[in-house]
Structure formats: structure tokens, C-alpha cells
Structure 1
Amino acid sequence: MTIEQHIEELRAELNNACGAAERRQIEGELKLARAELVVQLAEQVGAIEADPPF
């Protein structure tokens, strides 16, 4: 599964979430997935290095 697919699934889950606790959990997972996508895109264009500095 690609990160884009994962984000879409999380969005669908968020739309169908029943309780506040479930919504908060999914929102947190969605934020992490979006951040991962940003990192992946930055690595692809060479804006950041994927290797650790040590």
C-alpha cells in the first residue's frame, strides 16, 4: 500500500468515526501519514538527505 492510499483510507475512516476518542486517534495517524508523505517527496526531489548524519 502506498502512503497516498493509506492517507485516503485514514480520511475515509475519519469520516466514519463514531466517537471523539476514535476521531482523535485517526487524526493523529493522519497527521503522521501526511508528514511521512512530505518527507518522501522531499527525499525524491533532493531537498533533504535520507541517510542519518552519523
Structure 2
Amino acid sequence: MNIYDHIQELRAELANCADWDERLQIEADLAGAQQELAFAEAEFDALFADEPPH
């Protein structure tokens, strides 16, 4: 499963979650996955940038 699909799955789980503890865990997992996606996108963008990232 790629990271984008994983994020979509976590969002769907969060929308249907009624248990508070499970909701907190899903939110944490979602935040981590979104951070991972942002990092991967930044790395990809850096490959095509004129200047290296700072």
C-alpha cells in the first residue's frame, strides 16, 4: 500500500471511529503518515529544483 492510500484509509477509519482511545491512535498514525508524505514530496521536489533545499 502506498502512503497516499494509507492516509485515505486512516481518514476513513477516523470518520467512523467512536472509541476515544482508538481515535487518538488513528489521529497519531494519520499525522505520522501525513508527515511521511510531506517529506517524500519534498525529496521528490528537490530532485527537480534548480537549487538544493536549505
If the length of structure 1 is used for normalisation, what is the TM-score? 0.82
Gaps of 5+ in 2: 47-51
- Three-state SS of the structure 2 residue aligned to 1:29 is helix
If the length of structure 2 is used for normalisation, what is the TM-score? 0.82
Q: 1-side partners of 2:3 and 2:45: how far apart?
A: 17
CA-based RMSD: 1.2
Gaps of 5+ in 1: 49-54
Superposition misfits of 4+ residues, deviation over 4 angstroms: none
* Alignment pair present for 1:42 and 2:48: no
- Number of positions where the alignment pairs a residue of Structure 1 with one of Structure 2: 48
Q: Percent identity?
A: 46
Deviation for aligned residue 1:37: 0.3
